[in-house]
A and B are shown apart, each in its own frame.
Chain A
Amino acid sequence: MKVFGTVGKVVLGVGMAVILWGAFLYAHPAENFVGESSRIVFFHVPMAWIAALAFLLAAWHSALYLKTRSIERDDAAASAARLGILFCTLATVTGSIFAKVMWNSYWNWDPRETSIVLLLLVYGAYLGLRQAIEEPERRATLSAAYALLAFVTVPFLMFAVPRMYASLHPDTVLNARGKVEMSPDIKLVFFTSMFAFTALFAWMYALDIKATRLIRRLEERAEGGYAP
């Protein structure tokens, strides 16, 4: 699976550097935020978006595994879940830094903070389940079933719970009025950042799937007795 070649990587490398420059030196800080804290939106929101995307991919490949029984679908689901946890953790950490600046505390047990911790626990258990089962087919089947059930919690914990209770969290990008209320400079950097982070995720995901398949094949060879 080749996501993008040398040109794509160079564009991503330079593009992300330009976004970082734009995030700090081009976009102006948003109103009603303490100091420069609003600049976290260029990193925090893309990371949360990628976490949701990765969990969706994990569920998609898990469903396909249960249908086709192709072990490569299990590799893809496991890679997506791993990266989902990584980006979800990064979104939590960036959110916590923002909370410290805005509300003088890293952690406030806000509905959004609490729900994201629950989500991390749900997907942490997925990785635990994978580690606990040695037999590949059984591991793949049980993990796929768990990933499908785990994904049911994603819309609830990421989108529903934070909107059902009063929260310190600022308006979402697409607010309750169905509008994206950002100044043009912030909007430009923000949507470019969303695109670049998605491309970065696509690259990392493809790389992780390839590495997972290589490791599995090496293990299969070792078990088959013809490992180098």
Chain B
Amino acid sequence: MTPDAPTVAVSHGALFYVAAVNIIIWAGLFAYLVHLDRKVRSAMSRQTPEDPS
């Protein structure tokens, strides 16, 4: 830490806002992963018997 580092007062509301944005981003990422997971599973189940997964 630099000796003259400024102290920044952050309100609870700002932290709540940042947490909410992060949770929304996570929800989007999670939904995308679930979508990819289903897509890969269905592609694997469509494989022919001579090329089992």
**A interface residues with partner B (beta carbon < 8 Å):** 9, 12-13, 16-17, 20-21, 23-25, 32-36, 102-104, 203-204, 207, 210-211, 213-214, 217, 221
Q: How large is the interface on B (under 10, 10 to 19, 20 to 34, 35 or more residues)?
A: 20 to 34
Contact pick for B27, options A17, A36, A103, CB 8 Å: A17
Q: Assuming the A-B contacts A16-B30, A20-B23, A36-B8, are A217 and B47 also in contact, with contact meaning beta carbons closer than 8 angstroms in the complex?
A: yes
**B interface residues with partner A (beta carbon < 8 Å):** 1-2, 5-10, 12, 15-16, 18-19, 22-23, 26-27, 30, 33-34, 36-37, 40, 43-44, 47, 51, 53
Q: Complex formed: what's the CA distance from A42 to B16 in Å?
A: 16
Contact pick for A32, options B1, B12, B23, B30, CB 8 Å: B1
Instruction: Please indicate the chain A residues that have their CB under 8 angstroms from the CB of B9 in the complex.
Output: 35
Q: Complex formed: what's the CA distance from A211 to B53 in Å?
A: 11
Instruction: Please indicate the chain B residues that have their CB under 8 angstroms from the CB of A9 in the complex.
Output: 34, 37
Contact pick for A36, options B10, B23, B53, CB 8 Å: B10
23 residue pairs bridging A and B, Cβ less than 8 Å apart? A9-B34, A9-B37, A16-B26, A20-B22, A21-B19, A23-B19, A23-B22, A24-B22, A32-B1, A34-B1, A34-B5, A34-B6, A104-B2, A204-B33, A207-B33, A207-B37, A207-B40, A211-B36, A211-B40, A214-B40, A214-B44, A217-B51, A221-B51
Q: How far apart are A87's CB and chain B's nearest CB, in angstroms?
A: 14
Across the two chains, which residue of chain B brings its CB closest to A204?
B33
Q: Complex formed: what's the CA distance from A115 to B17 in Å?
A: 34
Q: Complex formed: what's the CA distance from A207 to B2 in Å?
A: 44
Q: Complex formed: what's the CA distance from A103 to B8 in Å?
A: 14
Inter-chain contact B30/A13, CB cutoff 8 Å: yes
Inter-chain contact A103/B2, CB cutoff 8 Å: yes
Instruction: Please indicate the chain B residues that have their CB under 8 angstroms from the CB of A35 in the complex.
Output: 7-10
Extra pairs beyond A17-B26, A21-B23, A102-B2 (14, CB < 8 Å): A9-B34, A9-B37, A12-B30, A13-B27, A17-B27, A20-B19, A24-B22, A104-B2, A204-B33, A207-B36, A210-B40, A210-B44, A211-B40, A221-B51
Inter-chain contact A24/B1, CB cutoff 8 Å: no
